[in-house]
Amino acid sequence: MTTSGRIQVLRASERPATAWLNGGGVTREVAGFPAGAGLDGFDWRVSLADVASAGPFSPFPGIDRVITLVEGAGMALTVDGTERLVDAPFRPFAFPGGATTDCRLLGGPVVDFNVMTRRGRVEAVVDLVSAPGPVEAPPAATVLLVCLSGSASLDGTELARFDAALLTAPGPYELRPADGTTAVVTFRPAH
């Protein structure tokens, strides 16, 4: 982790992998709030997952989820009996974490990007950015950027693939993705 003025950099190389209980993959937590909160105590949590085999998702009652395909052919998610294809990279799909959810891989392992928020406390907006431009960090919000492909520069701070930047002060920032896509996740208190 590196802090540079208004930007806290969270390097992918410093993230440990946590194996799933069902053996179907591993998760690397990018960031969460409050820091160090377990799966029962977070307000928000962002992670990248390597999904190696099909199977059920762990239930997270009271949690809203947004999942985005980053790498691989994709998956078919059956959420409370309705199948939804998540087979286009960088297209967020939102669903309730408490729903009965099963995953079928469409063509081998995938990497997905997960944003989870505790319903009633925090809401998240996930934007995928592939062109240079400003990023605004509103005063009452938390903004996390994750470089999902290629590389990016944020106010001159270089981000490699899967590196993240937590904006620690409100105001404008300049994002310059290089041949790739960066997720900009804005967390706000729920209304």
Same fold, 2-10+122-189 and 16-118: yes
- What is the 8-class DSSP label of residue 57? P
pLDDT score for 67 = 98
The span from the CA of 139 to the CA of 104, in Å, is 40
Query: pTM for the whole thing?
Result: 0.94
What confidence tens digit (pLDDT) does each residue in 127-154 have?
999 999 999 999 999 999 999 999 999 9
Q: Can you tell me whether residue 12 is helix, strand or coil?
A: helix
Pick the CATH number of 2-10+122-189 from 3.20.20.70, 2.40.160.10, 2.60.120.10, 3.30.565.10: 2.60.120.10
Pick the CATH number of 16-118 from 3.40.50.800, 1.10.40.30, 2.60.120.10, 3.40.50.300: 2.60.120.10
Domain limits, the chain: 2-10+122-189, 16-118
**Average pLDDT score over residue span 66-70:** 98
What confidence tens digit (pLDDT) does each residue in 4-22 have?
579 999 999 999 999 887 7
Which residues have CB under 8 Å from 131's CB, separation 6+?
177
CA distance to 1, 3, 78, 168, 177, per residue, from 48 (Å):
17, 22, 20, 22, 19
Nearest to 185 by CA among 65, 59, 36: 65
pLDDT score for 58 = 87
Local confidence band at 1 (pLDDT 50, 70, 90 cut-offs): low
**Average pLDDT score over residue span 57-62:** 92
SS (H, E, C) 59-109: CCCCEEEEEEEEECCCEEEEECCEEEEECCCCCCEEEECCCCEEEEECCCC
**Average pLDDT score over residue span 73-101:** 97
What confidence tens digit (pLDDT) does each residue in 25-55 have?
899 999 999 988 888 899 999 999 999 999 9
Local confidence band at 2 (pLDDT 50, 70, 90 cut-offs): low
Determine what percent of the chain is predicted with pLDDT higher than 90: 87
